[in-house]
Structure 1
Amino acid sequence: MKRIVKKISLGLMMIQFPFLGFSQEAIKNNQHDFDPVMYRQGSVYRAASGIPGPEYWQNEADYKIEVTLDDVAHTVTGSVTLTYRNNSPEDLNYIWMYLEQNRFKADSRGTLTTPISGNRYSGDTDGGYTITRLEAKTGKGKVSNSYKVTDTRMQVIFNKPIAANGGTATVKVDFSYKIPRSGMDRMGQQDTDNGIIYSLAQWYPRVAVYDDVKGWNTEPYLGAGEFYCEYGDFDYKITVPYNHIVAASGKLMNEKEVMTKVQIERMRKAEKSQERVYIIAPDEVTDYKNIRPKQEGTITWHFSMKNTRDVAFASSKAFVWDAAKIDLPSGNKCVAQSVYPIEVSGDEAWGRSTEYTKASIEFYSKKWFEYPYISAVNVASNVGGMEYPGLSFCSMRAKGGGLYGVTNHEFGHNWFPMIVGSNERLYPWMDEGFNTFINNHLHLEFNNGEYLDMYKRARQGLEYYTSSTREGIDTYPDVVNTRNLGHTAYYKPALGLAILREYILGPERFDFAFRDYIHNWAFKHPQPSDFFNAMENATGENLNWFWRGWFYGNKNIDLALTGVYQQREGYIIVLDNMGEIPMPVQMRVVFDDGSTEDMTLPVEIWQRGDQWNHFFRTDKTIKSVRIDPDMLIPDINGSNDTWPKDFYNK
């Protein structure tokens, strides 16, 4: 009897728990896809909600600079005084500064890592800094002359540490260098009919960023990797030949000394005009007697810019100069300006530069965050396109849609990374990708869609996503194959934000979160984890599955509709995730009577596995079903998106 009871009990157990007593594999699920993509725990410095923490700090860097540009020797000579404030909780025995002109030396790391065939970031190799004096001092301590130069970095060592929590130091450096003709598509010289245009960037020794994540950020300046800069105030003077015009970041402080009375009157008119006003018209460029306040020697232009991470300038005797008012939401004063040579001054080219600049600044100010600077200057240059706070270099040869596109892109960078100061040298997707995303929105609206053909759609360029040579967004810019940089830094991250906005979250939820991220990190230094945390907290969504799949590695989207089976009171729709990235499933059902019904299944259907059966209740007859009917995601295999399979190809 006892034995019988045992057998019955065991039998009941097998009925209730059929997996007991047999060797079976555990059921595989996809939970890993939904787990945190990286260490994202908050701290007193960076909150888990994706905002700066209650003890967030960053150091400050103020600069006073005086330089002279020699247009015979093609050199810059001058001095910089850095006032550095250490807001970190640690004393600093030394600081690191960047000497980025050293990239233009034959033995620089950037030169030695450039392919023999060259690339966009090839540059001159006969340049580099000459440092003639360095004095470093903390508080009332002794002056130190100790420094070490390693490639594009310089370590400045103090006799007494810079005190934590607000201690200051000053570093004075006298320097000179030869202006490269080919400056890695970021600076250099452009020949024109009436003289050289000098585009000057990375033109003074500047301090590296010391932050709570890495300490000193000292990645060498090699090529594709751009910049990571501290914020501060700039006061700088540029001495040039008397017949030069200087266009620069920030506010011109001495216009009465460098502009004629007529030019100043024209600028006042431009500041109130919706249309461009010539400060120097095309037929005036070479009339130095009437357009320059001096007729010999040199002249000094004085500029100032507050709370910025950098400044840049251009100088030439060949400039046409025009300007127009920028309308900001708050009513703050701002002016768009353009400088360019006579030969490209027509309305099919640079004659519309100020219009494009004005439209870009106004659109992004209204949509995301108000432009914080007093002017926006577009410079016709040897540079294809490069951005600095309040100033852009764009190709002199650009025209029409090409000039519109590069102007829109470069001025969009004032939001990423000039306002939101991410680390471009490590995470280009946080500036290039985010900027490309906001550029796409302006394409839709500018001048009633004049350049709508520049709008990028989700299923353009799908061949890249299945290429054997593709690389992930997380690939560092100096490591990535130059041919892939456009995808890894620009298009793929921009498309990722578009997928979030249009397909996953919807415009209202996305825009609220994205604006919040910009506002909270304006003039600060966010990391990737800060962005991820900010978007998840503000939208209320676990998006780990998307960050991991789209921003890290080479995974792809391939949702499939593998069957539609009629049942009593409706249909069973069979779905498969044949790719490696789970996604919500948007579907459009078309009925025999011509009516349609849209539905969205949440991403969580893929947590347990890669197949899902959905019961669709209806008393109508289904004619066809389509996944992603508006083609908002880059599904790599569109042939399995419909039922019947060939319905949409008929």
Structure 2
Amino acid sequence: SDERQWTWMDEGLNTFLQFLAQAEWQQKWSSGRGKPKGITGYMASTIQRPIMTNSESIHQFGNNAYSKPATALNVLRETVLGRELFDFAFKEYSERWMYKRPEPADFFRTMEDASGVDLDWFWRGWFYTTNNVDLAMKSLRLYQIDTKDPDIEKPIKKEKREEEEAKDLIDLRNKPLPKLVDENRDLLDFYNKFDPLDVTQSDRREYNDFLKSLEPEELKLLSLRRKFYVIEIENIGGLVSPVILDITYANGKKGTMRIPAEIWKRNTRTVKKLVIAKKEITQIEIDPMLETADTDRNNNYWPPRPIESRFQLQKRKKGKNPMQKAKEEENRSKEQQNEKKKKSSEKDSS
């Protein structure tokens, strides 16, 4: 390869292969380059240059030509293609271009040809831009099927109304005020006792008529007791990436959902994913196994977590104003003069 033009094709590929060799050499080998979590600081910085930059214009040689290409290939191997398919394609590239002088396009084309996977989005993001992976949990919405059954739906609405009224500031402050209808019962009418959320026989008849109008498949769908969650994810960093979600349910069970990068095909800024669950979702984490080089993990959680940090207690040194400093300097000068006079007198007396 042309190392002067495309340094990463030599140093980056060698760093990647060294990373693989070290993994087979010793358990927990301390490898400084290749792991996604090790490149996040550089990828989030403003001093980046695209990997596809002439070596004479690179800002940080080590990160640009060694670490980032090696990390990109690890992400491609572990998360995008999988080890088996990546290794097959990489071996094919090695055999096709043995003793030749490949250029970046030859590498990109061979990896796609051998794997049978369109990787344009991957090369574009990792090699031609300075975007970074920063996926964030934007929102989580819960939808449930409205059964239309008044004996189910109206009590739910009434309970919600009572919860809201119980914490309404104005209602709470008005509660002890004397009411006119308590003093004069003749002021009461039909609407003082009417509650639209009370179940009536008319409501039940309408519901039964509604059920009779449904087809068997529609009845089955109506009785489906599931929770429909819509997870909205924001792509803050701009680099398209697979989405890996670790989902925890109310019963303590966990599940991992792996969504291909093609989910960003229509909108590269925000996407929504529907999750149908039997149990309530209590926690969601993006990239739980640190495999996509996400540069900001503080926004990877639902519900959000506090941003942890540490600070040191320091004792403040008491400063002196200019007058005090000048006085000290004056005293120091006098002491030096007195010391000289003392030494001079001792010398004369001897």
Find the counterpart in structure 2 of residue 429 from structure 1. Answer: 8
The one of 612, 615, 619 equivalent to 2:274 is 615
Compute the displacement of 1:456 (Å): 4.2
* Distance 1:461-1:566 versus aligned 2 partners, 3 A rule: same
Compute the TM-score of the two structures, normalised by the length of structure 2.
0.61
Find the counterpart in structure 1 of residue 36 from structure 2. Answer: 458
Aligned positions of 1:357-506 closer than 5 A: 422-446=1-25, 448-449=26-27, 451-452=29-30, 454=32, 456-481=34-59, 484-506=60-82
- Aligned residue for 1:470, secondary structure, equals coil
Find the counterpart in structure 1 of residue 251 from structure 2. Answer: 593
Aligned positions of 1:537-576 closer than 5 A: 537-568=113-144, 569-570=226-227, 571-576=229-234
Find the counterpart in structure 1 of residue 95 from structure 2. Answer: 519
Kindly indicate whether residue 237 of structure 2 is the aligned counterpart of residue 579 of structure 1: yes
Compute the TM-score of the two structures, normalised by the length of structure 1.
0.33
Deviations 1:442-470 (A, max 9, x none): 22221x32733546421124222232222
Is residue 591–residue 624 contact of structure 1 (8 Å, CA) maintained in 2? yes
Q: Distance in 1 between matches of 2:116 and 2:34?
A: 28
Kindly indicate whether residue 221 of structure 2 is the aligned counterpart of residue 642 of structure 1: no
Please identify, of 506-515 and 578-587, the stretch whose mean Cα deviation from structure 2 is larger.
578-587
Aligned positions of 1:616-631 closer than 5 A: 616-631=275-290
In terms of Rg, which structure is larger? 2
Is residue 562–residue 575 contact of structure 1 (8 Å, CA) maintained in 2? yes
- Aligned residue for 1:629, secondary structure, equals coil
Counterpart residue identity of residue 498, structure 1:
N
Find the counterpart in structure 2 of residue 139 from structure 1. Answer: none
* Distance 1:640-1:450 versus aligned 2 partners, 3 A rule: closer
Q: CA RMSD in A?
A: 2.0
* Distance 1:647-1:590 versus aligned 2 partners, 3 A rule: farther
Name the structure with the higher strand share.
1
Counterpart residue identity of residue 630, structure 1:
M
Name the structure with the higher helix share.
2
Q: Distance in 2 between matches of 1:461 and 1:581?
A: 14
The one of 63, 69, 86 equivalent to 1:510 is 86
Deviations 1:316-374 (A, max 9, x none): xxxxxxxxxxxxxxxxxxxxxxxxxxxxxxxxxxxxxxxxxxxxxxxxxxxxxxxxxxx
Deviations 1:603-630 (A, max 9, x none): 2221211222211011112121111111
Is residue 241–residue 292 contact of structure 2 (8 Å, CA) maintained in 1? no
- Aligned residue for 1:423, secondary structure, equals coil
* Distance 1:572-1:450 versus aligned 2 partners, 3 A rule: closer
* Distance 1:445-1:641 versus aligned 2 partners, 3 A rule: same
How many residue pairs get aligned? The number is 226
- Aligned residue for 2:140, secondary structure, equals strand
Q: Distance in 2 between matches of 1:611 and 1:540?
A: 27
Aligned positions of 1:149-228 closer than 5 A: none
Amino-acid identity (%)? 36
* Distance 1:602-1:454 versus aligned 2 partners, 3 A rule: closer
Compute the displacement of 1:541 (Å): 1.6
Counterpart residue identity of residue 93, structure 2:
Y
Deviations 1:402-450 (A, max 9, x none): xxxxxxxxxxxxxxxxxxxx1111111111101101111222221x327
Is residue 588–residue 627 contact of structure 1 (8 Å, CA) maintained in 2? yes
- Aligned residue for 1:542, secondary structure, equals coil
